[in-house]
């Protein structure tokens, strides 16, 4: 799970990782927030009304859901369960409290916290993308300050430095890929059969 303050560049990093690792599945969340011009329904989010979101929440259709800056965001449970049962690696991008809630349900989940190389970049990035009002940006920055306090509860910290002058891929995509690779070697990914075979070999 990739989490961290708004404006840290999570979306771009995850897009970069998914381009490199097509077998990785992304969990598309549902949200009540207004669609931004670049948002694609079913790819970035499932955009739903507040009534519809609440109906789904009542029917326990979300693995977790949270209010963030006045809007609701939730992880659809069925997709996550099906994808994990099918044996795929899954990536999702909930805000910090949602990430910690998912970790309680799936203790093997890996929590990655993303920060920009300078916190002052959060404000300039949010202002630069021109998708939020001044009040919305202020709300996001105040949530960011709270979110930073949760860093010690995460497994990894990735510092997302600005793009190099040649405009290539963000260097932190390499870091995310390295984490993904290392996680595959965790003992809990191996089954008893593998250990038995090793013992008998």
Q: Minimum Å distance from CB 132 to ligand 5GP?
A: 8
User: In sequence order, which residues have a C-beta less than 8 Å from that of residue 42 and are 6 or more positions away?
Assistant: 28
Query: Which DSSP letter does residue 155 get?
Result: S
User: In sequence order, which residues have a C-beta less than 8 Å from that of residue 5 and are 6 or more positions away?
Assistant: 115, 116, 122, 140, 141, 143, 144, 147, 148
Examine residue 74 and tell whether it contacts ligand 5GP (CB under 6 A): yes
Which region among 52-60, 66-74, 117-125, 186-194 touches ligand 5GP (by CB under 6 A)? 66-74
Examine residue 7 and tell whether it contacts ligand 5GP (CB under 6 A): no
Examine residue 116 and tell whether it contacts ligand 5GP (CB under 6 A): no
Size of the site for ligand 5GP (CB under 6 A): 13
Q: Minimum Å distance from CB 68 to ligand 5GP?
A: 4
Which region among 13-21, 63-71, 162-170, 188-196 touches ligand 5GP (by CB under 6 A)? 63-71
Q: Give 74 or 173: the residue with its C-beta nearer to ligand 5GP.
A: 74
Q: Minimum Å distance from CB 113 to ligand 5GP?
A: 11
**Residues 33 and 141 sit within 8 Å (Cβ to Cβ):** no
Query: Which DSSP letter does residue 132 get?
Result: S
Number of residue whose CB is nearest ligand 5GP: 98
List, in sequence order, the alpha helices (H) in the chain: 10-20, 50-58, 77-85, 96-105, 120-128, 134-147, 172-184, 192-200
**Residues 76 and 64 sit within 8 Å (Cβ to Cβ):** no
Q: Minimum Å distance from CB 134 to ligand 5GP?
A: 16
Examine residue 66 and tell whether it contacts ligand 5GP (CB under 6 A): yes
Q: Measured between alpha carbons, how far is residue 53 from residues 91, 101, 181, 190 in Å? A: 22, 19, 35, 38
**Residues 96 and 144 sit within 8 Å (Cβ to Cβ):** no
Examine residue 32 and tell whether it contacts ligand 5GP (CB under 6 A): no
Examine residue 33 and tell whether it contacts ligand 5GP (CB under 6 A): yes
Examine residue 98 and tell whether it contacts ligand 5GP (CB under 6 A): yes
Q: Please give the residue ranges that form the binding site for ligand 5GP (CB under 6 A).
A: 6, 29, 33, 64, 66, 68, 73-75, 93-95, 98
């Amino acid at each position: 799970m990739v989490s961290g303050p708004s404006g840290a560049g999570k979306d771009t990093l995850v897009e970069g990782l998914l381009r490199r690792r097509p077998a990785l599945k992304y969990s598309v969340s549902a949200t009540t927030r207004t669609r931004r011009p670049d948002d694609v329904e079913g790819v970035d989010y499932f955009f739903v009304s507040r009534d519809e979101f609440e109906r789904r929440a009542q029917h326990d259709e979300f693995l977790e859901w949270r209010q963030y800056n006045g809007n609701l965001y939730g992880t659809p449970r069925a997709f996550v369960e099906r994808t994990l049962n099918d044996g795929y690696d899954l990536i999702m991008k909930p805000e910090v409290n949602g990430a910690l809630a998912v970790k309680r349900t799936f203790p093997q989940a890996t929590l990655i916290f993303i920060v920009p190389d300078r916190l002052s970049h959060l404000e300039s990035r949010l202002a630069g993308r021109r998708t939020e009002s001044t009040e919305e940006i202020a709300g996001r920055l105040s949530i960011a300050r709270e979110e930073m306090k949760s860093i010690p509860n995460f497994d990894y910290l990735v510092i997302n430095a600005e793009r190099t002058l040649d405009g290539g891929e963000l260097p932190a995509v390499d870091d995310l890929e390295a984490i993904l690779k290392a996680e595959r070697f965790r003992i809990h990914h191996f089954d008893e059969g593998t250990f038995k075979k090793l013992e008998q070999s």
